[in-house]
Structure 1
Amino acid sequence: MSVPLRDAWTTVIPDMKDRHGPLPPLMLTLTVVTGLVDAFSYLLLGHVFVANMTGNVVFLGFAVVGAAGFSLLAPLVALAAFTVGALFGGRVAHRARHRARVLHRALLLETLLVVVAYVIAQTVDAPYTGVVRYGLIALLGLGLGIQNATSRALAVPDLTTTVLTLTITGIASDSRAAGGGGGRAGRRILSAAAMLVGALVGAVAALHGAPALPLLIAALLLVAVNVAAFRLTRSDGAWTVPL
């Protein structure tokens, strides 16, 4: 089996003796969640992301110069909510001494926030405007801030669940064609693919299904990861020790 294929395989079917144990497939699932919620936010809440903050900083620049279709307030609300969520996620991570407990505790709140956002989006007719729009941005921004702080604390290589710029750079710059060893190419490709799948499914669900459907799918995936993380809190494997 080639190195990229082996790397991809161990990401989906992890080696429990590895330093990160069962965490890689869980983080891969959270990457799909990121694609789903950002598809919802960008397509239905205006030009704003609730997970990928780099885009919001760029959108702020567009809004400042008066570019059509860009709001100054929406990315600011997303950035503020994300920051508060990241702060909370960081507190959870620094207090827990078991990596599965870090994931479980953080995702409990993220799941609740996404479920509340889904209920609101399902109850109110699209297009979402005014208080509803900014409320949804704030709820989802908080949730994804928690997720990102958690993924940072768990530090599973190339599975940040959000930022793909360095991941894609690594695929190219560490490749054999560039003179590198091609390490973790399979995992990196899977990470980018997971984000793409989430965005694709989210866009199809929102545009051809029901507006709130991406949030329902995201909530179901979060519940699944939560259940898995809860079961893993009983493990005493070496992978559970924080880095």
Structure 2
Amino acid sequence: MKDAQPTRPSLAALMIVLTAVTGLVEAVSLLALGPVFTAMQTGNVLFLAFGVAREGNLPALPSAVSLLAFVLGAVGGARLESVAEARGWRWMGIGLYAEAALVVAAAATGWDLVPRYGGPTARHMVVTALLATAMGFRNVTSMRVDLPGVPTTLVTRSMTALVGGSALGRDAAFGYGTSGWVRRGLAVLAMFAGGLAGALLVRAGWTVGELLLPAAVVVSSAALAHRRLPRLHTA
């Protein structure tokens, strides 16, 4: 049986920060490496379908690379965090350290790489694969934490719960009458802020590596910050 997950402010703040990182990473993926997503794989499934149909001028290969790398990351994350849990380690830290290492590797690989929208080179796709693997780890971590309203890699459910539990929706199942709307609203704003920051940096002419440096720093800091959080487990 799954234990109740702690929802203290420090954990919520950490997950909201990671949501902002997702927005930044997806801005880089879509605008500087793609068109391709690395965290929101629903977009890649559709891009791949459009590419296979040869409609919309969307190449299928980048989406296929991202999907495969994401799967590998999710498998690796699930296995590593299961081993960590069995040994009594902080499994959340394992996932964050792995994600941080992969984002740092992606930044190093793309350090002097010029952003390119459309027709990505092999090096662009290597960066994409590293980021998608990192986001695979992130999704495992996020799903294990299971913090309501903050999935960190998409905001569709957060927006639905935010509206459904608001004075307009009045749905008790979505927390109407509680303060849950604050966390959900912050998650949506964090994704927007991360995407906006990434887009502005792309517009400023930063290289791919420079664009990913802020994400690498933030995720690395989050990996260190996890030590202050309670142990999370599913025993």
TM-score (normalizing by structure 1): 0.83
Matches within 5 A, 1:197-236: 197-212=193-208, 213-229=210-226, 231-232=227-228
Distance 1:40 1:99 in 2: 36
Q: Is 2:129 the partner of 1:138?
A: yes
AA aligned to 1:167 is: S
Q: Any conservation in 2 of the 1:34–1:162 contact (CA below 8 Å)?
A: yes
Question: Please, which of 44, 47, 62 is the counterpart of residue 32 of structure 2?
Answer: 44
Distance 1:200 1:99 in 2: 39
Aligned residues: 220
Q: CA deviation at 1:214?
A: 2.6
Distance 2:62 2:108 in 1: 21
Q: Partner of 1:49: helix, strand, or coil?
A: coil
Q: Is 2:192 the partner of 1:196?
A: yes
Distance 1:157 1:32 in 2: 16
Q: CA deviation at 1:187?
A: 0.7
**More displaced stretch, 208-217 vs 24-33:** 208-217
Distance 1:191 1:57 in 2: 24
Q: Is 2:108 the partner of 1:119?
A: yes
Q: Any conservation in 1 of the 2:91–2:232 contact (CA below 8 Å)?
A: no
- Percent identical pairs in the alignment equals 33
In the TM superposition, what whole-angstrom CA distance separates every residue of 1:192-211 from its partner, at most 9, and x where no partner exists?
Answer: 11000000001111121413
Report the counterpart of residue 105 of structure 1 in structure 2.
94
The two structures, once aligned, show a CA RMSD in angstroms of 2.1
Distance 1:125 1:169 in 2: 37
Q: Is 2:158 the partner of 1:171?
A: no
Report the counterpart of residue 140 of structure 2 in structure 1.
149
Matches within 5 A, 1:1-80: 19-21=6-8, 22-80=10-68
Gaps of 5+ in 2: none
Q: Any conservation in 1 of the 2:41–2:67 contact (CA below 8 Å)?
A: yes
Gaps of 5+ in 1: 1-17
Relative to 1, partners in 2 of residues 1:71 and 1:177: Cα closer, same or farther, differing over 3 Å? Answer: same
Q: Any conservation in 1 of the 2:16–2:190 contact (CA below 8 Å)?
A: yes
In the TM superposition, what whole-angstrom CA distance separates every residue of 1:60-87 from its partner, at most 9, and x where no partner exists?
Answer: 2221222243111111111110111011
Distance 2:99 2:222 in 1: 11
Relative to 1, partners in 2 of residues 1:118 and 1:169: Cα closer, same or farther, differing over 3 Å? Answer: same
Question: Please, which of 172, 177, 187 is the counterpart of residue 183 of structure 2?
Answer: 187
TM-score (normalizing by structure 2): 0.86
Relative to 1, partners in 2 of residues 1:25 and 1:124: Cα closer, same or farther, differing over 3 Å? Answer: same
Distance 1:221 1:26 in 2: 10
In the TM superposition, what whole-angstrom CA distance separates every residue of 1:215-239 from its partner, at most 9, and x where no partner exists?
Answer: 011011012101211x32xx6xxx4
Q: Any conservation in 1 of the 2:91–2:233 contact (CA below 8 Å)?
A: no
**More displaced stretch, 79-88 vs 115-124:** 115-124
Q: Any conservation in 1 of the 2:35–2:58 contact (CA below 8 Å)?
A: yes
Q: CA deviation at 1:105?
A: 1.3
Distance 1:163 1:108 in 2: 21
Distance 2:132 2:82 in 1: 21
